[in-house]
């Protein structure tokens, strides 16, 4: 992989991972292609892996990440919803879907997903942040401020995060 050759990596994987499915190998090749900046090839490999095994998590999450990067939020939403069906107890997946929903302008749904993420992991700074942003857009200023303050409190070492939260507060309040 370091030399940018997927064919050699694929052969090595086949030998090293006997017993893993062909879909898993295609998904791993897709991950490698994505990391090498070959988005079209990665997309094709993820799609092939999912045709071989619709339940292949590595392929589904890889395609989800690729769709997000490309701005295909409708496709990303489909993938994250399928991933949530397989693992409905993942705070990270709820947060991810919340971000996608927010980008689609669905603030109430984004707020609900951030709350679901917090129900699973009550100390998730990014979930407080997302819910705070959604609440600002929904006009729930006091709740939003509490969430954004909680986000900063949970990640005090992250100066960039604190500045992002403060900027979001100022920007959204000024636009109201």
For the stretch 11-21, pLDDT in tens is: 655 555 554 56
Average pLDDT value over all residues in the chain: 86
Rounded to the nearest angstrom, the gap between the alpha carbon of residue 154 and the centroid of all alpha carbons in its chain is 20
Q: Work out the percent of the chain whose per-residue pLDDT is above 90.
A: 49
Give Cα separations from 21 to 13, 25, 31, 91, 172 (angstroms).
Answer: 11, 7, 16, 28, 48
Mean pLDDT of 70-81: 93
Compute the CA torsion angle 37, 38, 42, 43 (nearest 10 deg): 110
C-alpha dihedral sign at 89, 93, 94, 95: positive
Indicate if the pLDDT at residue 7 is higher than 70.
Answer: no
Q: Which residue has the higher pLDDT, 86 or 91?
A: 91
For the stretch 42-65, pLDDT in tens is: 999 999 999 988 888 889 889 999
pLDDT tier at 6, thresholds 50, 70, 90? low
Q: What is the pLDDT of residue 101?
A: 97
pTM equals: 0.79
């Amino acid at each position: 992989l370091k030399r940018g050759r997927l064919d050699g990596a694929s052969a090595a994987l086949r030998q090293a991972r006997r017993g893993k499915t062909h879909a898993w190998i295609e998904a791993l090749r897709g991950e490698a292609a994505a990391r090498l900046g070959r988005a079209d090839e990665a997309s094709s490999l993820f799609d092939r892996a999912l045709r071989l095994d619709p339940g292949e998590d590595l392929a589904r999450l890889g395609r989800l990440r690729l769709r997000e990067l490309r701005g295909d939020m409708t496709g990303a939403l489909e993938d994250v919803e399928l991933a949530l069906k397989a693992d409905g107890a993942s705070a990270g997946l709820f947060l991810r879907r919340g971000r996608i929903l927010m980008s689609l302008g669905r603030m109430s749904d984004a707020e609900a997903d951030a709350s679901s993420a917090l129900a699973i992991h009550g100390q998730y700074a990014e979930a407080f942040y997302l819910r705070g942003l959604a609440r600002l857009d929904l006009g729930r200023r006091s709740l939003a401020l509490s969430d954004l303050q909680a986000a900063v409190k949970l990640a005090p070492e992250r100066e960039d995060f604190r500045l992002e939260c403060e900027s979001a507060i100022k920007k959204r309040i000024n636009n109201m």
